[in-house]
Each structure stands twice: as C-alpha cells, then as structure tokens.
C-alpha cells in the first residue's frame, strides 16, 4: 500500500518568515495530494490540493509543488502569521478500481507541528 513520509515533525519559524514542509510518497499511481491543517480539538481542514497533471499550485500565501519523478511534494507558506500555527498533514490518494475517479481513501503523513514565533 501507499506510504507517506512527512518532514519535519516540528517546525518553528519567526512571524513573517516562510515555512516549508516536505512529503514523499511510495505509490507511483497516486495522483491526488491534499494538504490539511488541523487545530487543537478540530477536524482536519483542507487548505490546498494538487493533482498529478500539474507541478505547482498557489493560493495567496500558500503554494504546493509536486515532483512526480522523485515522488515528493511540498507545502510552502510565505509571510507566516500567528494564526498559521497548527498541525499540517500531507496526504496522497490512489485511484481505486471502483471509484471511477474518486478518492478511495487518503494516506496521511504523521504531521508537522508548525509554530509561529512572534
């Protein structure tokens, strides 16, 4: 099955600086890579995703890059703010036999605790 590795486990940056979180995946069939932000006591919230037919996607201060050859993808947050402090999870999904294009189940990394220092 799919295996997703995420680094670092903890990342502390000064407010205003950039943060980068990296993930690798094992299954070359994976074609959907979402990133989730989880705050204490809440469920994961989708912040950005990327499909395998594109190499980069940006949404305001957040960007994700994908290198299919190397099987890794990264989350970039620029101009970090205190409210960016949370646990971030990367995930990968493989097209299923029955899905007709749907995500059968996401395999998550272990998470990165991002701390924004004021």
Cβ atoms of residues 115 and 10 within 8 Å: yes
Q: Which is nearer to other proteins, 80 or 88 (CB)?
A: 88
Pair 111, 7: CB distance under 8 Å:
no
| Near other proteins in 41-100, by CB under 8 A | 41-46, 49, 51, 89, 91, 93, 95-96, 98-100
Taking residue 10's Cβ as centre, other Cβ atoms within 10 Å add up to 10
Beta pairing class for 107-108 and 56-59: unpaired
Count of residues that interact with other proteins, criterion CB under 8 A: 33
Among 85, 109, 114, 116, binds other proteins (CB under 8 A): 109
Interatomic CA distance for residues 67 and 72, integer angstroms: 5
Give me the residues paired with residue 62 across strands. Answer: 59, 77
Q: Is 103 in the site for other proteins (CB under 8 A)?
A: yes
Q: Cβ closer to other proteins: 49 or 76?
A: 49
Where are the alpha helices (H) located in 1-118, listed in sequence order?
none
List the one residue from 55, 82, 110, 117 that touches other proteins (CB under 8 A): 110
Report the interface residues with other proteins, using CB under 8 A. 4, 6, 31-32, 34, 36, 41-46, 49, 51, 89, 91, 93, 95-96, 98-111
């Amino acid at each position: 099955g799919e295996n997703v590795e995420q680094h670092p486990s903890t990342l502390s940056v000064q407010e205003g600086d950039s943060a980068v979180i990296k993930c690798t995946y094992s299954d070359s069939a994976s074609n959907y890579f979402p990133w989730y932000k989880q705050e204490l006591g809440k469920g994961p919230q989708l912040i950005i995703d990327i499909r395998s037919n594109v190499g980069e996607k940006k949404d305001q201060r957040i960007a994700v890059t994908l290198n299919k050859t190397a099987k890794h993808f990264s989350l970039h947050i620029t101009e970090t703010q205190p409210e960016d402090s949370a646990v971030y999870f990367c995930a990968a999904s493989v097209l299923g036999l029955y899905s007709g294009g749907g995500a059968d189940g996401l395999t998550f990394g272990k998470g990165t605790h991002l701390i924004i220092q004021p």
